[in-house]
Structure 1
Amino acid sequence: MAAEFLTKRARRPRATLTTAVALAFLFANCPLAQAAPRPRSEEWWFDAWQIIRKVWPIAQGKGVTIGLIDTGVEAQLPELKDAVLRGKDFVGSTDHGGLIDTDTELGGHGTGMAALIAGQGSGSGMVGIAPKSRILPISKASGDYEKPIRYAVDHGAKVINMSEGVPTDSCPSSVQAAVNYAIQHDVVVVAAAGNDPHADSTGTPANCSGVLTVGGVDAYLSPWPDSTPGSSVMLAAPSVSVGSIGKAGVFTPGGTGTSSATALTSGVVALMRSHFPDMPGREIVQRMLATARDVGPEGWDKKTGYGALIPYKALTANVPKTAPNPVYDNIQATGSGAPNNLEHARHKPARTSTHSKSDEPGYGFNGLAFIAALTLTFLSAAGIMTFHSKRRWHSLSLKRKYHGQSVTKK
């Protein structure tokens, strides 16, 4: 059965030169971590997650390798040059080390996921949230997860990202054994919930015990309606209007799907493993669950799990070591090789603070580009100040949604 890749792309015109020039004024006073690349304006999750101002000063992923089990990565693109290690191809007659993206359906799925994690800001300007991390690319045949997972573990990955899945009633014993192997070697395994809202539950590898399964939310913390529900879903991350590059190196805005949410979550794991190099993976996951912002129905729910991932809180909050951790508790409760099918509603973590065809429209970054272009026409000192104030409000609005802050529009 063909693997179901979990990102959809919407082809839209790239911003004009006029827009690009105007947008430069937006970032004129934006503080950056030293030597950090500047993200594209469409990468709204940087504002929502306070990556530049609060997260990057703590960690940028240095020293962490992410095993990317996907379609391979177009490693020579400027956005990814020097960020991709030699991996392995488990599909085809020639092993290119995972350094060529073999995707013929979505224009470069693996490359897009790699850029979301470790994009360097060159070429199209695509920046990943963990730019100092490194990608270990592994391409695979449909449904073949056992050998790629074990390869990633044996070649230094501390995080494994699988932004794909296949429909199954339960996790195959061979895949579960590989996940167990990863956990025994202190590797955090992250997988996408899927893009089928009518499915009864998530497929493999998302339904394996010990896997951190990720659903989707938009910029305003509304659960993405097409995210696949299931008892294995633990967190939610940005999945609507999440653009990235393909193997041609062209940035495409408007991508929608839990693939992107999973890649961004793996990037956060890389940030945390960089900041806490001696912290076991189970504690990393525990912190992410305990600091998630509850969205959707109160408590755990099948689409967003324990809520929206908040990277800064996961990095800094005081999380007790006794906080619940159902991702790892499940593997103990079900036993090796058993499917992850426990109900999580009773196990809410303690809080430390009060591939379908459809596309969803962006929340507003295209409107931002329009305002920028219009502002350039009426450029004046007063105009620049007014525009900067509007962008600041837009940024604060995202932060209010993600962080529960009280913001008064001025």
Structure 2
Amino acid sequence: MSRAGLGLIAALAVLLPGSAADARGPRTDSDEYRKSWGLEAIGARAAYEAGLTGKGVTVAILDCGVATAQREVLRNVSRRSTDVVPGRKAPVIDPHGAYTAAPLAAALNGRGMVGVAYNATLLAVRADVEGGLNGKCAFRPSDLARGLDYAAEQKARVVVLPLQHSKPLGAAFEASLQRLVDSGAVVVIAAGNRNGPDPSWPAMYAIDPRYSGSIVVAGATGYYGSITGWSNRAGQVKAWYIAAPGEWVLTDCLAKCQLVSGTSFSTSYVAGGLALMMEAWPQMAGRDIAARLLSSARDAGDTGVDDVYGRGVLDLGVAFGSAAE
């Protein structure tokens, strides 16, 4: 695909500079926990009180790579992480991948911030086009297809696609997506940041019967729990859409933190929640866990499943309660 044809970009709306591990989980009164308002917003303490950390669950992120991340993120990165672009020698420059990884799986170490599934294994799959597009991380569908196949080969149980595009990604991508969901993985895809009535592609694949039940689409909420003005709405994908923190998300913290906004970071919270549930119920099929997560969402907007919030807002407290029944 020519450079002019590169329209698939990371689902990042805003990027602004901001300012002793406990075996029982993070102390909810600690700075490490409280820095991330999203943890309380999604009810993560219910999982931590049950002793869950994401351990044993591999989560793949197809993005720009995570080499720029702080060591609290790199600690959880798998040695099997890869770059699917052949022969690339250019270093990772765009921090989007690192910023997406931190809210998902930053380690519990008494410093910085802690991710939702802070003991999950991160499989970082770098798939961006060298040089990007207009200063943003960009991707070719063919590279993403290779990334999906690699995630399936590595037995990732959750795969994150924090990106958006204006049209379907083609037959090769769709075939790879089919192989991935057939392997039992759940795919979490950003809804996109264009204030549209429907999600962008590839999130629209959620309504394709080939992938039904294996794709969860993440929209973005702000601090007070309402959907943001820029997040794409649920629309046609409402049965598979859930909203999660995505505005002014704190990430990549050690000496300083970054504040970021975008549905990319909503995928971090949704994927982290899925990883915690997969640790709790390892024999449950991925589709079934995704269904539990969606059915336990906190209702928002119009009563029931609606065109704005879809199934509602991510609520792990309810998710664990409903799955235990």
Instruction: Specify the TM-score bucket, using the shorter chain as the normaliser.
Output: 0.7 to 0.9
Structure 2, unpaired ranges of 5+: 1-5, 129-138
Distance 1:79-1:298 versus aligned 2 partners, 3 A rule: same
Sequence identity, in percent? Answer: 26
Q: CA RMSD in A?
A: 2.6
Aligned partner of residue 153 in structure 1, secondary structure: helix
Alignment of 1:142-153 (within 5 A): 142-144=139-141, 145-153=144-152
* Aligned equivalent of 1:243: 250
> TM-score, normalised on structure 1?
0.65
Q: Deviations over 1:49-106 (max 9, x none)?
A: 3323x2113211010000110000127732123200131112363379xxx6341xxx
Q: 1:66 aligns with which of 55, 59, 64?
A: 59
Bigger Rg, which one: 1
Task: Work out the CA distance in 1 between the residues paired with 2:117 and 2:229.
Answer: 28
* Aligned equivalent of 2:184: 186
Task: Work out the CA distance in 2 between the residues paired with 1:117 and 1:306.
Answer: 21
* Aligned equivalent of 1:225: 229
* Aligned equivalent of 1:206: 203
* Aligned equivalent of 1:293: 298
Residue 118 (structure 1) shift: 0.9
Does 2:107 match 1:120? yes
Residue 120 (structure 1) shift: 1.3
* Aligned equivalent of 1:353: none
Residue 214 (structure 1) shift: 1.0
Task: Work out the CA distance in 2 between the residues paired with 1:171 and 1:302.
Answer: 24
Residue 250 (structure 1) shift: 4.0
Task: Work out the CA distance in 2 between the residues paired with 1:292 and 1:35.
Answer: 23
Which residue identity is paired with 1:56?
Y
* Aligned equivalent of 2:16: 11
Q: 1:309 aligns with which of 303, 307, 314?
A: 314
Of 214-223 and 64-73, deviating more is 214-223
Which residue identity is paired with 2:84?
F
Task: Work out the CA distance in 1 between the residues paired with 2:262 and 2:68.
Answer: 23
Q: 1:55 aligns with which of 29, 47, 51?
A: 47
Distance 1:275-1:318 versus aligned 2 partners, 3 A rule: closer
1:77–1:123 Cα contact (<8 Å) kept: no
Task: Work out the CA distance in 2 between the residues paired with 1:122 and 1:174.
Answer: 41
Distance 1:7-1:280 versus aligned 2 partners, 3 A rule: same
2:41–2:225 Cα contact (<8 Å) kept: no
* Aligned equivalent of 2:258: 252
Distance 1:196-1:80 versus aligned 2 partners, 3 A rule: same
Task: Work out the CA distance in 1 between the residues paired with 2:324 and 2:280.
Answer: 15
1:243–1:251 Cα contact (<8 Å) kept: yes
Alignment of 1:72-83 (within 5 A): 72-74=65-67, 77-83=70-76
Q: 1:34 aligns with which of 24, 37, 41?
A: 24
* Aligned equivalent of 1:90: 84
Task: Work out the CA distance in 2 between the residues paired with 1:265 and 1:63.
Answer: 17
2:73–2:107 Cα contact (<8 Å) kept: yes
* Aligned equivalent of 1:397: none
1:217–1:240 Cα contact (<8 Å) kept: yes
Distance 1:13-1:66 versus aligned 2 partners, 3 A rule: closer
Which residue identity is paired with 1:239?
G
> TM-score, normalised on structure 2?
0.81
Task: Work out the CA distance in 1 between the residues paired with 2:123 and 2:42.
Answer: 25
Task: Work out the CA distance in 2 between the residues paired with 1:249 and 1:154.
Answer: 37
Distance 1:4-1:297 versus aligned 2 partners, 3 A rule: farther
Residue 281 (structure 1) shift: 0.6
Distance 1:76-1:165 versus aligned 2 partners, 3 A rule: closer
Aligned partner of residue 124 in structure 2, secondary structure: strand
Aligned partner of residue 67 in structure 1, secondary structure: strand
Does 2:132 match 1:132? no
Q: Provide the aligned length of Structure 1 versus Structure 2.
A: 291
1:223–1:296 Cα contact (<8 Å) kept: no
Task: Work out the CA distance in 2 between the residues paired with 1:226 and 1:164.
Answer: 15
Task: Work out the CA distance in 2 between the residues paired with 1:4 and 1:120.
Answer: 27
Task: Work out the CA distance in 1 between the residues paired with 2:274 and 2:204.
Answer: 20
Aligned partner of residue 295 in structure 1, secondary structure: coil
Distance 1:75-1:237 versus aligned 2 partners, 3 A rule: same
